Amino acid sequence: MQYLDFLSRVHALHQPANYLEIGVRFGHSLALAQCRAVGIDPAYLIEAELSGEVHLKRTTSDEYFTRPDCLDVTDGQPFDFAFIDGMHLFEFGLRDFINTEEHANPWSVVIFDDVLPRNVPEAARQRHTGAWTGDVFPIIEVLRRYRPELVTILVDTAPTGLMFVLGLDPSNTTLRDNYDEIVRDFRRPDPQVVPQQLLDRGGVQTPARVLEAGFWKTLREQRDQPDLPDFHLRLREQLATDLGAAYGPVSQVS
């Protein structure tokens, strides 16, 4: 399944009230939003037809999130759904996630693009290929190591895969507090060392399995009733049912 088709289905399932997109380019993914949307890109060239309430910000994501009024366009409401497809370099993607999580809800969905390079040249920091993922992929390991309570789901979309991040905690500062250490350890010169499992797309979920999963109901229930207890536990239990034991509760995750 092409990633735009998949994202369209996600919009329909999750029905966000406020959508964030980092990296707009021609606007094809932004055009899928059927809600209030914010698109951030310092050099967008919109060719898609946008509808509804869309706020385009011709700036960098770093600059946007330093604004004290960055949620003014959503009347102060966090983003329910975010698509991160900005600068294809590890440190930029990491900062984008840190800033996005701080402006999201626990039940929000964050999706990274380009986490499954098809070959090593495609994953280079210095672009020298047509198709290009850059070195976004190490964020998978960073989240699993530094934020094991988060759920990460790799999805086998064309052309270069997506990663869901669920179970957010906007108050958690672990990544921000350890940012310099993380960048020092995970940002590497070319050529990149891409794990063979990623190149082979091992442990990656099919789009259909993710779209048919029961966790969408869990997310909606929590959004409709934010005071419902044990959200993160219920989410993980549902994910274990949907996708297998690897996504369920473990001893160090509450």
The pLDDT tens digits of the residues spanning 18-27 come to 999 999 999 9
Cα atoms in the Cβ-side hemisphere of radius 13 Å centred on 170: 13
**Domain architecture of the chain: domains with CATH:** 3-210 (3.40.50.150)
What is the pLDDT, as a whole number, of residue 203? 92
Q: How confident is the model at residue 252 (pLDDT cuts 50, 70, 90)?
A: very low
> What is the reported pTM?
0.96
CB 166 within 8 A of CB 215: yes
The pLDDT tens digits of the residues spanning 36-78 come to 999 999 999 999 999 889 999 999 999 999 999 999 999 999 9
